[in-house]
Homo-oligomer: A and B are copies of this chain.
Amino acid sequence: MSTLKIGLIGVGRMGRMYGQYLARRAQGAALVAVADQKAELAKSFAAEFEIPRWHSNYQDLLNDGGIDAVLVVTSTSTHKQVVMDAARSGKAIFCEKPIALTLEDGREMIASTEAAGVFFQMAFQRRFDVGYVAAKQKLEAGAIGEPVMFTSISRDPYPPPLEFCDPKVSGGLIADMGVHDFDVARMYMGEIRRVHAIGGVLAYPEMKSVGDIDNAIVDLVFQSGAMGVVQLSRNAAFGYDIRGEIWGTKGSIQIGYYRQTPIVTLTPEGVTHDAVPYFMERFENAYLAQIRNFVEHLQKDLPPSITGADAMAALRITLAANLSLREHRPVEVEASEAGRHRA
């Protein structure tokens, strides 16, 4: 099996992370080019990781016939243009979540990849985390009976830069963070019928200037009748707090941990250990497994592990939650394309 030649578009925080895994730890793949509109970033990243080619214009990368696949890790508001251009260039595509800020954009993106017949995989790294995977296996093995309630907690230690919080760029707190929780909810519990969201600016008053919130609660009613709740926060302060919980008729499963380093200090001030600093520490192995999965599925001609339809489902829930937040009422989640066609 020949080595997969990959180009990376976007070397911001997430782009650098994926790039490092590809450069050093993803067997069977070679990172041969990077692109970023900030030329200096592209150039220095290429130098550090001995990547042959770099560009300040991603179109140049897409025109590179020596590239088989691209990773799209630009800001969400630019996903549509980059993915559609990449599809037209015939490259296989890995796209960072969320797919887009609107359902229309998402639909156009998926249509373009289908029209071009290119491989298109979305990113939801929790699906590759050993904890979330083990929970899925336990659940399917019947360890806790029928699942009836789901909880998902995502808490960042601090907010992103203010310009990123602008809902026009990121989609806002619920889109940026909650989309992971909604994806996990679907994985364990099936589709979501209705949501109700509350939220506010409780920790960082400056959030108001860009129109975002910093804490939210989203209730979920699943099509099965089961229920769930998602809690989001930008002010964990002590570290990164990611938890999942499934309550079944015969037992429960809890996912997550609170101690990064295997050391505990016991002094008269108390028994103390560290917390998980942030997402790189918590999900390093999941991100790595995800990018390896992309490479493997492409090379073995397997279907994408996470599809555009998955991304659209999570986006529909996100948009319904945002509407609920604005209008202070429960909101039905729009049925999927397939679902609407069937109806």
Contacts and interface: CB of A to CB of B under 8 A. Distances in A.
Nearest to A330: B328
B202 A135 contact: no
Interface in A102-139: 129-131, 134-135, 138
Contact of A264 (B200, B237, B253, B329): B253
A155 interface: yes
B219 A238 contact: no
A259 B257 contact: yes
Contacts of A144: 237, 265, 267
A233 B149 contact: yes
A12 interface: no
Contacts of A259: 257, 271
20 contacts: A24-B24, A129-B262, A131-B262, A149-B231, A155-B247, A200-B227, A202-B227, A217-B227, A229-B231, A235-B248, A235-B249, A237-B249, A251-B267, A253-B263, A253-B264, A254-B266, A255-B263, A259-B271, A271-B275, A328-B330
Interface string A212-225: 00011101010001
Given A229-B231, A233-B149, A130 B261 contact: yes
Interface in A243-297: 247-259, 261-275
A135 B231 contact: no
Going nearest first, the 9 A-B pairs with the smallest beta carbon separation are A251-B267, A131-B262, A148-B202, A238-B266, A257-B262, A252-B266, A270-B272, A272-B272, A254-B264
Q: How many copies of this chain?
A: 4
A224 to B, nearest CB: 9
Nearest to A256: B262
Contacts of A217: 149, 219, 227-229
Contacts of A37: none
Contact of A267 (B148, B221, B237, B262): B237
A265 B24 CA distance: 35
A2 to B, nearest CB: 12
Interface residues of A, number: 72
A113 to B, nearest CB: 31
Given A146-B202, A200-B227, 18 more contacts: A24-B27, A146-B203, A151-B231, A196-B219, A199-B227, A200-B225, A202-B249, A217-B219, A229-B229, A236-B247, A237-B252, A241-B266, A251-B268, A254-B266, A255-B263, A257-B259, A270-B272, A271-B274
Contacts of A252: 236-238, 241, 265-267
A155 B226 CA distance: 16
Interface string A144-166: 11101101000100000000000
A208 interface: no
Contact of A266 (B225, B251, B270): B251
Given A135-B263, A202-B148, A271-B259, A251 B233 contact: no
Nearest to A250: B237
B253 A265 contact: yes
A128 to B, nearest CB: 13
Contacts of A335: none
Contacts of A199: 227
B198 A227 contact: yes
Contact of A249 (B203, B229, B274): B203
